[in-house]
Structure 1
Amino acid sequence: MIDQATIDKIMAATDIVDVVSDFVSLRRRGANYWGLCPFHDDKSPSFSVSPSKGVCKCFSCGKGGSAIHFIMEHEQLSYYEALKYLAKKYNIEVHEKELTDEEKQKRTERESMFVINAFAQEFFSHSLLETEEGRSVGMAYFRERGFNEDIIRKFGLGYSPEKRDALAQEAKKRGYKTEFLLKTGLCREGQHGSIYDLFAGRVMFPVYSVSGKVVAFGGRILKSGVKISKYFNSPESDIYHKSNELYGIYQAKRAIEKERCCYLVEGYTDVLSMHQSGIENVVASSGTALTPGQIRLIHRFTDNITVLYDGDAPGIKASLRGIDLILQEGLNIKVVLLPDGEDPDSFSKSQSAESFRKYIKEHETDFIRFKTQLLLEDAGEDPIKRAAIISNIVESISLIPDAIVRSVYVQECSRLLQIDEQVLLSELNKRRQKRAEQQSTRERYQAAGHRPAQPASTQQPAVAGGNESPAEGGETPPPHALTDIPVAPDAAEVAPIAHDSLTQRVASRSPLDKYEREIIRYIVRYGYRNLFETSEGSWQKVWEYITDELSIDHIELSNPLYKQIMELTAAQREHEAQQASALRSELQAKSRQRIDEAIEQIRLESGDIADKQRKESEAQERILGETDEELQTFETNFLERYFTTYPDTTISLLAVDLVSEKYQLSKVHTKFQKIESETDRLWELIPRAIYELKNAILDQAIKQIQEQIREASRNKDDKRVDELIEQNVELNQVRTTLAKQIGDRIVSPK
């Protein structure tokens, strides 16, 4: 359990743009930053990050939250685990109480698997660098391949000892559970309950997630003449799905964003050699066929992919499907063929970074020209084969989501293949129409409650990695399930953000919801801001005014979530008042010092006494005004920070939704005149919102009475009809009075 003071310290140090930028390439647009959403298949930037509010939100899938909630969702951590992640990032020491035995047992399985993988990486690295066997066998291999110690340490390379249970025995000695050695695939169970190391006698390549956690390992056998696969990968697990991981992405992501391009290669050693030569924006698919998940991972950081191929023609043709997937995801693709007999590993060792980049620039070509030239070599003059090639290329172009890009490629294809452009367009449109119909059929099928069958996942190790282009392991990732999260003594630890929409998590919407929601929005955004000055000279806060106005007519909000926010607002008032008082004292001391310094400076200037007194008065008024403004800003933002970082994600995500703004006025609108902001009009907008809620309640009551009048009339209950008509008249009189306060036209909140 982390104390509130430490949580406040972590949140004060956290920069949400900095946090999100570790995983998503962001571009500034106005006051906010935008990028591709990491939580769904995003083709154009719909993920907004607001540095001023400290929140992020995807306006397509709805995911978002504070920096804490972003880390919770992206890294699948609990609330307190996400806090510790941020504390580590910003070098903040976390003091937490000793966990009970029961709480220790409730540690999430995912966390335990990450811990065991981190231990294994350290064990393999120590074995490589610090043991005689590791230096004589593992280090000798890496030296032979030309890798220096800097690269070895940068990628956490290691060596698994020849002894069949070296890792298992060391883990047991350190107190790690056998259960997680087996679940991560580091060990296997043998006869009579014994366990043995899966990677014994191999040099080790840790596979890091985009956030830097070890999710899996690749191991290469060094013995010759053995009849087992040269490369093994960890089996699929709760923390490793090979179709969503790329080797080197953690080390390359900053360079990819900087260079605005990602080089895609095949094996581990390709990545290592290119990094050693000074080219860092490179990742590997680790010998497996490229997947949509891997492409989307690259797309977070760039729109441009350059695929590097060696001269192996059969291998190139087998990988053409990957080009189609890249096109389908909306990325720009270039292809480079290396000289005969060279691969990225060997070629980079004979080049400097500058000469390698120069070669790429001079030899890269767009996919249409590359694919056309490659396939035409086999077709020769055979018209049937040429027709098949044209059909193949049109199919690739039809996958491109951008209509303008498709049109450009159709023109290029027409020129290269000497075929009428209209013929190509007609065929392309047919394919896109057919694909749209198939997609529509699938959606209707799934909407009817049907789901495609999921192949069972296997726990056999996948063959992967290296330049030898081994076969795929063929595992299918198991369906993801959220793990149980431990409960703290006084607050529930929050599970990773669920994948359903906020609307589904909130109580069913009533006809009053849009009015109540608008009032809650004012509470979250401005709750402790001064609204009206009372006759006694004190100030009434926004939440106090709203509470008083609702209590006058005995109105309670119908949505339980909104009621909880009102209760939390009241409960936090004392805590906010204490912090505001401390800040006021601090600001007053600073303002006095600033006033004294300003007066001293003015008195040293030349001029008459009256002019100096005027300047002193103006300086004092300005400094005191800035102090009041800073204090008012603190009070205005207090509840917004509180609710957007609240541990209960149902509340915090609602708060994020309330404070997020998809659109902003451009500079054109504010260049020549000051646009009045919502904050400037709170004195008008908040009373109006309350009147509109009351008016909606009256409308509901009048409709109910009118229905009762009809029912009483059908039953010929004249006495009851007269009573109801009298009530109806009274309510309409109240509504007329209320309408005058609101205005002739009721404006519903958006």
Structure 2
Amino acid sequence: MISKSTIDKVFETSRVEEVIGDFVQLKKSGSNFKGLSPFTDERTPSFMVSPVKQIWKDFSSGKGGNVVAFLMEHEHFSYPEAIKYLAKKYNIEIEETEQTNEEKQQASERESMYLVSEYANKYFQRTLWESEAGKAIGLTYFKERGFTDETIKRFGLGYSLDQWEAFTKEALKDGYQLEFLEKTGLTIVKGDRKFDRFKGRVMFPIRSMSGRVLGFGGRILTNDKKAAKYLNSPESDIYHKSKVLYGIYHAKQSIAKEDNCYLVEGYTDVIQFSQRGVENVVASSGTALTPEQIRLINRLTKNITVLFDGDAAGLRASLRGIDLILEQGMNVKVCTFPEGEDPDSFAKKTPLEELVRYLQEQSKDFIQFKASLLMREAKGDPIKRASVIGDIVNSIAKIPNRIQREVYIQECSRIMDISEEVLFNTLAQISNKELKEANKKYKQEQRAFDVVKNEVAQETSKVDRLNVLEMSLIKSLLIYGGKEEDFEDLLLKENEEGELTLEPEVFKAKVYEKMYLDLQQDEVAFANEQFNFLFNELVKRYSENDDFSVDAIINEIDPEIAGEITGMLMDEEQYDLHDWESQNIFPKDRDTGVAQQVSETILNLRCYLIDEKVKELQQKTSENKDGSNVEVLEEIQNYYHLKVLLSKKLRRVV
């Protein structure tokens, strides 16, 4: 168990903008940072980080919280795992006790799979460096590839012994369950037999963006033609190869810094480039590029340079990946290597300065690359040439930005020697076809949605008004609770003629005091349980400590409630996402009229509750069969007079 003092130190030291900056490219926006949502597929920023409050909010998915909440949401960490991750990042010593076999069994299934994967990673590394077979076979292979000891350790490379059950027996002996060895794919179980999946292979751990081991790639070193050269972990609850990029953990900071990502195919391409000094490199690990993989890069940069070897068949197949990148609204360039070379071999023999210069000079815009590649195939055939032009315009049609599309059409016209008018007409035809298909799909979805829309609207409309009022009060309490304001109240006083009139009286009070006293008058409790808890907890904290900061409570309470708080605190910050001031639209300063806003919300809540009480009493009179409703009617009359009084305070006519 982690001590409270350690947890407090982690929260004090961690910077939410630094941690999230490892996963999302953040740009300054006033006093905050903004970026693309890491939880949804979007092309305009709706993700906000507040360094002042040390919280974040994703307006597209509704998620939010503190630095630990982000790691739990994004990386699926448990609370202790998130604390350990931050402690490691900020070099904070953390007291850990070794897990007993019983504790391992009590861990959740997902956590157990992560534990097994991490254990396997350490086992394979230990085997590589300490066993005779590991040093003689595995280490020798890596050395022959030109990898230094530092590089091998940095990427956690390892070796799996060429024995049927070496790893499995060791893991079972150390208390890990066969169920999770099988689910992670490390052990294959057939009836009563069990054996190691990666027997006799050098091992490449595949990590998430935060560094967790998700799975493995293993390369065989023998000439067994029946065995696959490379073998990956099978799909599991923690490993989805279409959503992972090899090397992203080591490359993420460099990608954000260089504002460019080099995309290669294999593990050794990534490692060789990184060792040479070009660290902003990731690999699709031999799988066809997927939208999920592209979105991983998109969080860090808008620019991708795809690196290909000189294999023509491979180039042709890779063009599909380029179209996917364009669809995501990213800028893509292509760089090819001389015939017979691949990124690994070229980086191995090329000094850093020369390698960087080559990448800069040989990287072509995708349209130049695609045109030159396809035109070589078309040669002088006019039909093939027309097909090539259509292919290129199809790619341009994938680009979401209209200005970029127009620029590329002009470039295509120049390269292919064909009029812009023809190209624009072709583009329009493609766009119209896609629009019709999209509309058709939308109408089908809309019909399905309309079936339940009215029922949902009826259900939610009953609670909306009360929820909005309660949320508004909690929001004011969070933001202004400790602030002293001049409140105006209208008090009933007798004038010289003996008539009761409402006269204004101004008094000073802290916002939380005003709320507490006013709501206590009517013994009001919030209908929303979370709001009720928050209200009582916040009033207690404010009354006990004049310097109480709301930021502190976020780190101490249930993550679900903390998420509610974050949403309220960051609600105003969404205006920064749209940069209204650049369009001469100036949102009202939220600190203006705090007293009036708080007073009106309390009065509105009281009026709402009176209305509900009157409805309840009216229902009672209709159900009362004996006709004795005098007391009930008097009570309704009293509530009516109270409503009139409150409405006068709100300056309304009833």
- What is the TM-score of this pair, normalised by structure 2? 0.86
Q: 1:259 offset after TM fit, Å?
A: 0.8
Q: Which moved more, 1:49-58 or 1:378-387?
A: 378-387
Equivalent residue for 1:695?
Answer: 607
Q: 1:400 offset after TM fit, Å?
A: 0.8
Equivalent residue for 1:656?
Answer: 566
Q: Which residue identity lines up with residue 181 of structure 2 in the other structure?
A: L
1:195-225 CA distance string (max 9 Å, x none): 2111111111111111111111111111124
Following the alignment from structure 1 to structure 2, what is the Cα–Cα distance between the partners of residues 63 and 676?
25
Q: 1:171 to 1:444 in 2, by over 3 A?
A: farther
Q: 1:230 to 1:284 in 2, by over 3 A?
A: same
Following the alignment from structure 1 to structure 2, what is the Cα–Cα distance between the partners of residues 78 and 147?
35
Q: 1:92 offset after TM fit, Å?
A: 4.1
Other structure's SS at 1:306 match: strand
Q: Over aligned residue pairs, what C-alpha RMSD do you find?
A: 3.6
Q: 1:430 offset after TM fit, Å?
A: 2.9
| Aligned partners of 2:347 and 2:355 also within 8 Å | yes
Q: Which residue identity lines up with residue 10 of structure 1 in the other structure?
A: V
Equivalent residue for 1:559?
Answer: 528
Other structure's SS at 1:652 match: helix
Following the alignment from structure 1 to structure 2, what is the Cα–Cα distance between the partners of residues 669 and 446?
37
Equivalent residue for 2:37?
Answer: 37
Equivalent residue for 1:13?
Answer: 13
Equivalent residue for 2:212?
Answer: 213
| Aligned partners of 1:640 and 1:655 also within 8 Å | no
Q: 1:186 to 1:663 in 2, by over 3 A?
A: same
Following the alignment from structure 1 to structure 2, what is the Cα–Cα distance between the partners of residues 540 and 309?
69
Pairs within 5 Å for 1:341-352: 341-352=340-351
Q: 1:702 offset after TM fit, Å?
A: 6.7
Pairs within 5 Å for 1:196-595: 196-443=195-442, 445=444, 509-530=463-484, 541-570=510-539, 572=541, 577=544, 580=545
Q: 1:111 offset after TM fit, Å?
A: 1.6
| Aligned partners of 1:507 and 1:560 also within 8 Å | no
Give the one of 628, 641, 644 matched to 2:552: 641
Following the alignment from structure 2 to structure 1, what is the Cα–Cα distance between the partners of residues 231 and 147?
21
Q: Which moved more, 1:378-387 or 1:543-552?
A: 378-387
Q: 1:2 to 1:131 in 2, by over 3 A?
A: closer
Q: 1:106 offset after TM fit, Å?
A: 3.3
Q: Which residue identity lines up with residue 411 of structure 2 in the other structure?
A: E
Q: 1:33 to 1:200 in 2, by over 3 A?
A: same
Following the alignment from structure 1 to structure 2, what is the Cα–Cα distance between the partners of residues 208 and 413?
40
Q: 1:371 offset after TM fit, Å?
A: 0.9
Q: 1:165 offset after TM fit, Å?
A: 1.5
| Aligned partners of 2:46 and 2:574 also within 8 Å | no
| Aligned partners of 1:243 and 1:294 also within 8 Å | yes
| Aligned partners of 1:519 and 1:686 also within 8 Å | yes
Q: Which residue identity lines up with residue 311 of structure 2 in the other structure?
A: D
Following the alignment from structure 1 to structure 2, what is the Cα–Cα distance between the partners of residues 665 and 300?
16
Equivalent residue for 1:621?
Answer: none
Equivalent residue for 1:592?
Answer: none
Pairs within 5 Å for 1:61-210: 61-94=61-94, 105-190=105-190, 193-210=192-209
Q: Which moved more, 1:30-39 or 1:4-13?
A: 4-13
| Aligned partners of 1:30 and 1:666 also within 8 Å | no
1:357-383 CA distance string (max 9 Å, x none): 111221211111211121112223323
| Aligned partners of 2:290 and 2:321 also within 8 Å | yes
Q: Which residue identity lines up with residue 551 of structure 1 in the other structure?
A: Q
1:6-50 CA distance string (max 9 Å, x none): 443332222111221121121111100111211111212221100
Q: 1:94 to 1:310 in 2, by over 3 A?
A: closer
| Aligned partners of 2:308 and 2:334 also within 8 Å | yes
Following the alignment from structure 1 to structure 2, what is the Cα–Cα distance between the partners of residues 213 and 97?
20
Q: 1:668 to 1:138 in 2, by over 3 A?
A: closer
Q: 1:120 to 1:404 in 2, by over 3 A?
A: same
Q: Which residue identity lines up with residue 526 of structure 1 in the other structure?
A: Y
Equivalent residue for 1:614?
Answer: none
| Structure 2 alignment gaps of length 5 or more | 450-456, 488-506
| Aligned partners of 1:121 and 1:206 also within 8 Å | yes
Following the alignment from structure 1 to structure 2, what is the Cα–Cα distance between the partners of residues 159 and 719?
89
Q: Which residue identity lines up with residue 562 of structure 2 in the other structure?
A: S
Q: 1:301 offset after TM fit, Å?
A: 0.8
1:546-597 CA distance string (max 9 Å, x none): 1210121233322232222223335556xx83xx4xxxxxxxxxxxxxxxxx
Q: Which residue identity lines up with residue 416 of structure 1 in the other structure?
A: I
Other structure's SS at 1:147 match: coil
Other structure's SS at 1:119 match: helix
Following the alignment from structure 1 to structure 2, what is the Cα–Cα distance between the partners of residues 51 and 680?
23
Q: Which moved more, 1:225-234 or 1:304-313?
A: 225-234
Q: Which moved more, 1:244-253 or 1:74-83?
A: 74-83
Following the alignment from structure 2 to structure 1, what is the Cα–Cα distance between the partners of residues 551 and 473?
14
Q: 1:285 offset after TM fit, Å?
A: 1.0
Q: Which moved more, 1:423-432 or 1:318-327?
A: 423-432
Q: Which residue identity lines up with residue 519 of structure 1 in the other structure?
A: L
Percent identity between the two aligned chains: 44
Q: 1:745 to 1:285 in 2, by over 3 A?
A: farther
Following the alignment from structure 2 to structure 1, what is the Cα–Cα distance between the partners of residues 580 and 298?
32
Aligned residues: 620
| Aligned partners of 2:128 and 2:158 also within 8 Å | yes
Q: Which moved more, 1:74-83 or 1:169-178?
A: 74-83
Q: 1:419 offset after TM fit, Å?
A: 2.8
Following the alignment from structure 1 to structure 2, what is the Cα–Cα distance between the partners of residues 99 and 198?
26
Q: Which residue identity lines up with residue 601 of structure 2 in the other structure?
A: A
1:588-610 CA distance string (max 9 Å, x none): xxxxxxxxxxxxxxxxxxxxxxx
Q: 1:316 offset after TM fit, Å?
A: 0.1
Following the alignment from structure 1 to structure 2, what is the Cα–Cα distance between the partners of residues 569 and 695?
24
Following the alignment from structure 1 to structure 2, what is the Cα–Cα distance between the partners of residues 101 and 148?
37
Equivalent residue for 1:475?
Answer: none
Q: 1:409 offset after TM fit, Å?
A: 1.0
| Aligned partners of 2:14 and 2:86 also within 8 Å | yes
Q: Which moved more, 1:209-218 or 1:376-385?
A: 376-385
1:168-212 CA distance string (max 9 Å, x none): 122122222222211111111245x23211111111111111111
Following the alignment from structure 2 to structure 1, what is the Cα–Cα distance between the partners of residues 322 and 382?
25
| Aligned partners of 1:34 and 1:46 also within 8 Å | yes
Other structure's SS at 1:280 match: coil
Q: Which residue identity lines up with residue 365 of structure 2 in the other structure?
A: D
Whether 2:646 is the aligned partner of 1:738: answer yes
Other structure's SS at 1:512 match: helix
Other structure's SS at 2:214 match: strand
Q: 1:323 offset after TM fit, Å?
A: 0.2
Q: 1:81 offset after TM fit, Å?
A: 3.5
Whether 2:639 is the aligned partner of 1:685: answer no
- What is the TM-score of this pair, normalised by structure 1? 0.75
Following the alignment from structure 1 to structure 2, what is the Cα–Cα distance between the partners of residues 227 and 136?
24
Q: 1:734 offset after TM fit, Å?
A: 3.7
Following the alignment from structure 1 to structure 2, what is the Cα–Cα distance between the partners of residues 399 and 432?
9
